[in-house]
């Protein structure tokens, strides 16, 4: 998500695209605009990702506390979800986390403190959305 001088992009494009993540053999990196544009795109991306993580957390809570499912059963559901329209890196790693057991054989996720901090990008996204009159109910 690089931004900056459009004249500089051709000089660094190959380096950035060779080191970027790939999707279907194509780099997930391209020039997004002038100075500050890359930071803005990353902020919006993070805001969307935080919304996805909130939904995953709520789905886990409903399946765990609402339906009383065990982590291995929830992992099976996430495995199924990851084969359809919900296929994503976050669904995949959530499944893997739910399958991971501690040394005592119990799911490690049940031993993790239910707390999270923030670095600021979610707050920036929410403030910018308010300034633009756009709802961001999943992270607000």
User: Please, which residues have CB within 8 angstroms of residue 49's CB and are 6 or more apart in sequence?
Assistant: 90
Q: Which two tokens stand for residue 5?
A: 């001088």
Whole domain around residue 45: which residue ranges? 36-132
Q: Which two tokens stand for residue 20?
A: 């970027």
In degrees, rounded to 5, the angle at the alpha carbon of residue 30 between the alpha carbons of residues 27 and 34 is: 165
pTM score, whole prediction: 0.80
Quote the number of domains for the chain: 2
Same domain for 40 and 26, yes or no, is no
Q: Residues with catalytic annotation?
A: 42, 49
CATH number of the domain to which 89 belongs: 1.10.1040.10
Smallest CA-to-CA distance from 21 within 44, 45, 4, 40 is with 45
pLDDT in tens, 11-66: 999 999 999 999 899 999 999 999 999 999 998 888 889 889 999 999 999 999 99
Q: Which two tokens stand for residue 79?
A: 């495995």
Euclidean distance between CA atoms 138 and 43, whole angstroms: 15
Same domain for 30 and 40, yes or no, is no
Work out the pLDDT band at 139, boundaries 50, 70, 90: confident
């Amino acid at each position: 998500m690089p931004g900056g001088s459009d004249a500089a992009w051709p000089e660094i494009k190959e380096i950035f695209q060779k080191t970027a993540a790939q999707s279907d053999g194509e780099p997930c990196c391209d020039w997004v605009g002038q100075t500050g544009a890359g930071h803005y795109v990353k902020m919006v991306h993070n805001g969307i990702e935080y919304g996805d993580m909130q939904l995953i957390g709520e789905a886990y809570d409903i399946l765990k506390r609402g339906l009383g499912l065990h982590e291995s059963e929830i992992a099976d559901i996430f495995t199924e979800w990851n084969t359809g329209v919900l296929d994503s890196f976050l669904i995949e790693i959530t499944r893997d986390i739910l399958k991971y057991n501690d040394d005592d054989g119990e799911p490690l996720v049940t031993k993790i403190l239910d707390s999270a901090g923030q670095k600021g990008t979610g707050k920036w996204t929410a403030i910018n959305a308010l300034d633009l009159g756009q709802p961001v109910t999943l992270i607000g």
